Structure 1
Amino acid sequence: MSTTVQQQKQVDLPGQTYAAEGPHDQTGMYVMHHAFRRDLARFRSAARNTPIGDVATWRLLGERYGRFASTLHHHHTVEDDVYWPVLRRAAAERGVPGDLDAVSDNSDEHAEMDPCLDLCARAFAEMAEHPCEDHRNALDLRLAGLAELLLGHMSHEEHEILPLVQRVLTHEEFMDVEKTIGKSYNGKDIPFIVAWAMHGLPPADRDRMFALAGAPYRVLHALFRRGFERREARTFRYADQP
């Protein structure tokens, strides 16, 4: 007797380039991508619009960029260490020619981004320490380079890797990976991650994420949202609002 696999309707968030239909609810991945896209846009806008002499805001931007970069690095590290090994095995067993190359190419893109992340961090530090138009222009160029890499990478992931996940992973494999990734975050970082990931989500998608992540996620968001949003307002005070 055959078993019918229920297809999950995926979220379709601002900036998202593709929704991979299939049996697995990939809301968590799309929410992370939404947050990275949102941050990129706000950093680029803030870099262009923040007055050169407002050193306090440049320092806040540099600190906030550090949280963005460390969150992105962690996201890519757990994909390389946890997600992609399971995906490679599943693709080797159930996939088609080219699937393994797609996973390897995606991981290579992670490595390409690390030097660019470091260059942007240095550019923010230089702007805070020695604010001038030359340093602002350098920062703008570094962020443009990061945006080109990261936006292209997330589009590649949404068009190729997430459909591959839908096609070759079993429900048990997918859920095991999701649980392992959920446990990989440092406890002290979780309040920031929750408030950061939910910030700016459309209400229906925020409720869907709450339903998926469980009651503790909703409680953490309620406790830390206002503090996060106050700091965001100060940090991105000169950025165009989304």
Structure 2
Amino acid sequence: MTSPETPADTRDMYMVHAMFRREFAALPALVRDVAAGDTERAHLLAEHIGFLTAVLEAHHRAEDIHLWPKLLDRGSEEVGPVVQMMEGHHERIEQLTVQSVAALGEWRQDAAAERGKLLADVLDGLYGVLYEHMGLEEQHILPLAEKYVTATEWHAMAGSTGAALPPGKMPLVFGMTLYEANPEVIENTLSSLPSEVRTMLEEQGPRDFAAHSERVHGTPTPHRSAPLKPSQR
């Protein structure tokens, strides 16, 4: 159990980012591979894309509410420009997400080739900004969080993200994150949860992810995002 003064252990952010890198990187090709007029496949991918963007939105909203204000309030002069950059990324990601939702709504109706191309191009742009954002966050924000944020506050931010997820999707999100996670970090993440919740996530999460990935990617073991960083091992 952590005390209120224990510094934040930010390693769980790396495994969340690995999940986002893997899943968002795959989206443009998934859309481009849909045959013109295949509305069944388009509907499936539309649900997947909508789910991922909802998870990303919950993740970023929790940072906006729980992380940036604490860093600005407690940090030195170095913090302001970095947080401003992160907030700018969030705004741009939100704009691209809105564009993707609009393009997705049109494409899922008839799976027209031109609409699919437009959606895939928007998703390419979204992933580009997201990839840059996560890399800079790992480089600049996580060391600041370990310096200025407590473990209790960090867990509260994660809890806020979980509360904002689509209903009933927590096991799937856990399974998606577990796929490339450091077992030690997972153990630390689960340690603060009630035993029945932990058991449910550990048993149902991998099954939900494997079934979901089979439908979306055609395999229960999709391509991994990247080799683990030393801080993830």
Shift of 1:184: 5.0
- Alignment counterpart, residue 69 of structure 1, candidates 53, 57, 66: 53
Query: Is there any run of 5+ residues in structure 1 with no aligned partner, and where?
Result: 1-5, 7-22
2:215 is equivalent to residue 234 of structure 1: yes
Q: Determine which of 148, 168, 192 is the counterpart of 2:169.
A: 192
- Aligned residues: percent identity? 23
What is the distance in 1 between the residues matched to 2:68 and 2:107? Answer: 37
Give 1:36 shift: 0.9
Partner letter of residue 158 of structure 1? E
Shift of 1:178: 1.8
* Contact 2:43–2:108 (CA under 8 A) maintained in structure 1: yes
Q: Is the 8 A contact 2:96 2:126 kept in 1?
A: yes
1:112 equivalent in structure 2: 92
Deviations 1:193-236 (A, max 9, x none): 34324327467614531343234334323124323422331123
1:155-181 deviation per Cα after TM superposition (whole angstroms, max 9, x unaligned): 110111112222333xxx342232243
- Say which is worse superposed, 150-159 or 119-128, in terms of deviation: 119-128
Match of 2:228 in 1: none
CA shift for structure 1 position 112: 1.4
Over 3 Å counting, the alpha-carbon distance change for 1:203 and 1:120 in structure 2 is closer
The two structures have a TM-score, normalised by structure 1, of 0.77
SS at match of 1:125: helix
Secondary structure of 1:53's match? coil
Cα displacement (A) at 1:102 = 0.9
Aligned pair count reads 214
Go from structure 1 to structure 2 and tell me whether the alpha carbon gap of 1:207 and 1:165 turns closer, same or farther (over 3 Å shift): closer
Name the stretch that deviates more: 228-237 or 97-106. 228-237
Letter in structure 2 aligned against 1:217: R
- Aligned CA RMSD, in angstroms, stands at 2.8
Match of 1:62, as an amino acid? A
**2: distance between equivalents of 1:183 and 1:233?**
29
Poorly superposed stretches of 4+, deviation over 6 Å:
none
Contact 2:38 2:110 in 1 (8 A): no
Larger Rg: 1
Q: Secondary structure at the match of 2:169?
A: helix
| Residues in 1 aligned to 2:47 and 2:176: alpha-carbon distance in whole angstroms | 18
1:72-151 aligned at under 5 Å gives the runs: 72-91=56-75, 95=76, 97-151=77-131
**Structure 1 residues 145 and 188: CA distance shift in structure 2, 3 A:** closer
Which sections of structure 2, spanning at least 5 residues, go unmatched?
A: 1-5, 224-233
- Separation (CA, whole Å) in 2 of partners of 1:102 and 1:62: 34
Specify whether residues 236 and 124 from structure 1 end up closer, same or farther in structure 2 by C-alpha distance, changes over 3 A only. farther
Question: Structure 1 counterpart of 2:95, which letter?
Answer: P
Residue 183 of structure 1: CA displacement? 4.4
TM-score (structure 2 length as normaliser): 0.79
